[in-house]
Amino acid sequence: MNINANAQSYNLKENELQGAMPAIQQAKDHAEERLLRKQQQIACLRLFSEYGYDTDIAGHFAVRDPEHTSCIWVNPMMIPLRILTPDDLLLMDHNGDIVEGSGPVNLGAYVIHSRIHAARGDVVASVHFHSPYGKIWSAFGAKLPPINQDACAFYNQHVVYDVYNGVPQDVLEGDGIVEAMGDCHTAVLRNHGLLTTATTIAGAAWRFVAMERACEAQIKAEATGRKLVEVTPDVARNTQEYLASEYSAWLSFQPALHEAFQRFADLDHESRKVCICGAGSHRWIGARSCRRALCLGDAGRVKRDLRGRDPVSHNSLD
């Protein structure tokens, strides 16, 4: 599946000043891809802590290993999200055995995520946290109605897992979630919280954040007591197709990730080096993002630094 395919549908006009839309980075080998995934995973976990999603030892973010595809990287249970590093992540197989790293893992990470990744080969990342508005909305045991454009991103693409048996302790719970989700990317776990999946780490993170915000908007709108006007089905469906593709989910979280990698100096990630022109083949001096600069097109064209330095050729960067 080419998840970069609809990139240009977001671009007003491709020209020398605007350039092309960014493409999803492609690593040269498994080792590089593993490093990129783990660094993105940590950046997302730290952001989630800042967003207030971490609740004591609850919550997990699972990412498939690019080489050992029957294994997932999960956050350990006893380390606060805000101070996690890539070395803290644990590699767990679908039997619940830790094959790299050491430390306790939340049982729910195994029960829920191992089953999702075993059943859904398309899923690279899956996310579950007890976020404030998601767990409130889960008490209604209802799908989220399309009351605004943002909520339309989940129209016909989320389900309600209408069962709650307490803290997940058996893989049968995970199997039930998988069955309920089908090929949808998001689930409301009744009396529990939200769950999102995607073919990219950024996509799964964005869907979780977007669903949490949509739940907040719905709850606050209902609290007014006024009648809510829903988006019509045809418009909601078209809006969902535009907003919620794998590419658009990835794209929508790029500003948050770029900002995160500027602040989290210990994460020397390729996202710092992604050029906004979208050529995807540039090499940069140091580890600063090209978002500090105005790129004037594809490789070989001119990049002028907004801090007033002389323009240089993309091809001359080492």
pLDDT in tens, 36-46: 999 999 999 99
Beta bridge partners of 127: 61, 196
- Structure tokens that stand for 79 in this block: 């380390």
Domain that holds residue 118: 30-252
Q: Is the same domain home to 81 and 197?
A: yes
Residue 302's pLDDT is: 30
| Among candidate residues 49, 98, 50, 47, the one with its CA nearest the CA of residue 74 | 98
Q: Is the same domain home to 210 and 194?
A: yes
Q: Is the same domain home to 203 and 285?
A: no
Q: Is the same domain home to 17 and 39?
A: no
Give the separation between CA 170 and CA 128, rounded to whole angstroms: 16
Query: Is 262 inside any structural domain?
Result: no
- Structure tokens that stand for 139 in this block: 């008490």
Q: Is the same domain home to 11 and 149?
A: no
Our count of domains for the chain comes to: 2
Residue 285's pLDDT is: 31
At residue 135 the predicted structure's pLDDT band, cuts being 50, 70 and 90, is very high
- Quote the mean pLDDT of the chain: 83
Contacts of 206 (CB under 8 A, 6+ apart): 198, 249, 250, 252, 253, 256
- Segment 301-314, tens digit of pLDDT: 333 332 333 333 33
Lowest mean pLDDT among 64-68, 77-81, 157-161: 77-81
Neighbours of 1 (CB within 10 A): 7
Residue 269's pLDDT is: 58
pLDDT at 140 over 60: yes
Q: Is the same domain home to 124 and 240?
A: yes
- Segment 239-284, tens digit of pLDDT: 998 888 999 999 999 999 999 999 998 987 554 554 444 444 443 3
pLDDT at 134 over 70: yes
Q: Is the same domain home to 78 and 134?
A: yes
Give the separation between CA 167 and CA 259, rounded to whole angstroms: 35
At residue 127 the predicted structure's pLDDT band, cuts being 50, 70 and 90, is very high
Do 206 and 253 meet the contact criterion of CB atoms below 8 Å apart?
yes
Query: Is 261 inside any structural domain?
Result: no
